[in-house]
Amino acid sequence: MRNQSTDEHVSNRKRRFLLALLAGFSTSGCATSPEPRPSAFSQTAPLPQSAVAGNETKPPNVSQTQPPQLSSTIRTIAYNEGLVSAAPQPVFVQDAEEAEGGKPSDSEAIYKTAQPEVVRPPNSNSVSATGTQQPAQYFVSVAMAGHPKLRAARQRVAAATNVAPQVSALPDPMFNNTFWPIQNQALQTAGGRVGHQFGLSQGVPWPEKLRTKAAIANREVQMAQAEVDRIEREITEAVRLAYYEVWFATRAIAIIQETRELVDDLTQVAEARYKSGGSQQDVLRAQLEADRLDDQIVTLRKQKEQAQADLAALVQQPVSLIPEASEELGLTNVPEQLDGLLVLAEQCSPELRAIAWEIQRDRQKQKLACLQKYPDLQVGLNYAIISDDSNAISPVANGHDNISFTVGTTLPIWREKINAGIREAAHRTSSSTERLEAERDAIQGKLRRLMAQADALVQQQDIYKDRIIPRTEDTLTLSIADYRGKRTDFFTLIETYRDLLMFETQMARFEATLAGTVAQIERTVGCPAQ
């Protein structure tokens, strides 16, 4: 891991180049040369700093079934702003027998753990006024508190938590009343005719079926919570990528404005040289270069507005209320160990956790399909009112009302239907297991690509900082001396300035792209690499 410093030394070098150029012309004997004004670089704010990682090391193969313990060699991905919510607990596919909870206490525990934590934005419900600077985490917090897609996902979790009490409860009892509207046709007993016959029955499913249904519902809660985590990561990534585009446009505009002030000073020098017998082409070339920089600033401002519009849509705020990006990106470290990230992905990835819970749910459904072989019970109580009037047949009949009990059971004799349900559930479980492997492979492949991209960006930053930019600065110094000694033309001098501008802008692009790559890595992993 290595710290990078790209703030003051760039402006200082530019300032030295300009002073050298102006000093050269001020001492060249040109009486008509105007007094050069101080360069605006002396008052320019320092550039943002960043630190990037070294090269990636090749990791060993990661287990496809059970992830190993987290290695101590994992480098952290640290931001000045942290992630919104804490990393979820690792979840893996367990044996179906371990997930049979259906008791009310289990359901309540799952409900408590499944409740989403609403993250409130700092200070107020709206974004601060334009002109202030805010880090990326500020916008992430605002998006987490108010994004409708996230609110909808949290409502689905709340809805899913209310399924278990429904499926684990007994079915509603049934009450019936049998009566005979024509009394002479009513059921005849020795004590008289039956006036009304009341019945109360209750279905009692096989007990294990209710517990299994509750376990299935609880797995649905966990799947819904994993979906909330996935959406949180998705929104976090989108907010950060939009923020980094705003930051890059802002940074590029600042670089070009600094160069624009240098070109203005060079224009004055060219005008002074023209008055002393130099070429007017130098003046026109300097003016053309200033116009070109103005055009670039217009393009970058439009790019910045578009990025701010994307950011405003994510945080559900008007574009006019979007503050400026902070001068510092906040990126301090990037991951170096791919194997450590693969381990974290196994534990934290919302996609993997959702499929893991889906496998457990499908195993419970397979168990429920097997339980259909067992009958359900039916118990009932009947009460018949016997009339004691002249309809009594026997003079010794007491005319007491009749009470009876009934017990019934279903007859699961259609075995082919039951076996078909078992096979269906087994195939669904196999399908979920294969999807887990496919998703794991996809995540590993994506992490490898992102790590390769991050490593390439780090190497490019090193090349630009240690070789390209210093050599361009040296070339610019020589061009200034040659132009002062009339050994080169103004065109060569401007081209060298243009190259330096391009390289510095490219350095800002590298930094923004690297930060975006790290954001994608965290999105793929599912939690910070700590």
Q: Which amino acid is at 444?
A: Q
Q: Does residue 198 form part of some domain?
A: no
pTM of the model: 0.69
Cβ neighbours for 463, distance < 8 A, ≥ 6 positions apart? none
Q: Does residue 279 form part of some domain?
A: yes
Share of the chain above pLDDT 70, in %: 70
- Tokens for 409, please give them: 């059971």
pLDDT band at 417 (very low <50, low <70, confident <90, very high): very high
Residue predicted with more confidence, 224 or 481: 224
Residue 146, pLDDT score: 82
Residue 493, pLDDT score: 82
Tell me the per-residue pLDDT of 306-321, one tens digit each, with 9 for 90 and over.
Answer: 999 999 999 888 888 8
Q: Does residue 29 form part of some domain?
A: yes
Residue 297, pLDDT score: 92
Residue predicted with more confidence, 79 or 98: 98
Cα–Cα separations (whole angstroms), residue 478 to 21, 468, 492: 10, 15, 11
333 C-beta neighbours (distance < 10 Å), count: 17
Q: Does residue 425 form part of some domain?
A: yes
Q: Among 280-284, 289-293, 333-337, 439-443, which stretch is predicted with the lowest mean pLDDT?
A: 333-337
Residue 247, pLDDT score: 93
Taking 50 as the threshold, does the pLDDT of residue 141 lie above it? yes
Q: Does residue 191 form part of some domain?
A: no
Q: Which helix (H) or strand (E) holds 511?
A: helix 490-525
Q: Give the separation between CA 57 and CA 341, rounded to whole angstroms.
A: 12
Tokens 């499929």 -> residue: 355
Q: Give the separation between CA 417 and CA 349, rounded to whole angstroms.
A: 38
Residue 528, pLDDT score: 76
Tell me the per-residue pLDDT of 398-408, one tens digit each, with 9 for 90 and over.
Answer: 657 778 899 99
Nearest alpha-carbon partner for 75 in 450, 339, 336 = 336
* Domains: count for the chain: 1
User: Alpha helices of 276-387 — where are they, by DSSP H?
Assistant: 280-315, 338-348, 350-371
Taking 80 as the threshold, does the pLDDT of residue 4 lie above it? no
Residue 498, pLDDT score: 87
Q: Does residue 530 form part of some domain?
A: no
Q: Which amino acid is at 110?
A: I
247: burial class by Cβ within 10 Å (0-12, 13-18, 19+)? buried
Q: Which domain holds residue 519?
A: 2-170+205-375+410-525
CATH code for position 436:
1.20.1600.10
Tell me the per-residue pLDDT of 447-466, one tens digit each, with 9 for 90 and over.
Answer: 999 999 999 999 999 999 99
Residue 158, pLDDT score: 94
Average pLDDT of the chain to the nearest whole number = 75
Residue 399, pLDDT score: 58
Residue predicted with more confidence, 421 or 14: 421
Q: Which helix (H) or strand (E) holds 506?
A: helix 490-525
pLDDT band at 88 (very low <50, low <70, confident <90, very high): very low
Taking 90 as the threshold, does the pLDDT of residue 73 lie above it? no
Residue predicted with more confidence, 57 or 315: 315
Do the Cβ atoms of 210 and 102 come closer than 8 Å? yes
Q: Return the C-alpha torsion angle 185, 190, 192, 197, nearest 10.
A: -70
Q: Does residue 359 form part of some domain?
A: yes
Q: Does residue 515 form part of some domain?
A: yes
Q: Give the separation between CA 192 and CA 391, rounded to whole angstroms.
A: 5
Tell me the per-residue pLDDT of 158-207, one tens digit each, with 9 for 90 and over.
Answer: 999 999 999 999 999 999 887 777 766 666 665 567 777 789 999 999 98
Q: What are phi and psi of 403, to 5 degrees?
A: -120, 135
Do the Cβ atoms of 210 and 229 come closer than 8 Å? no
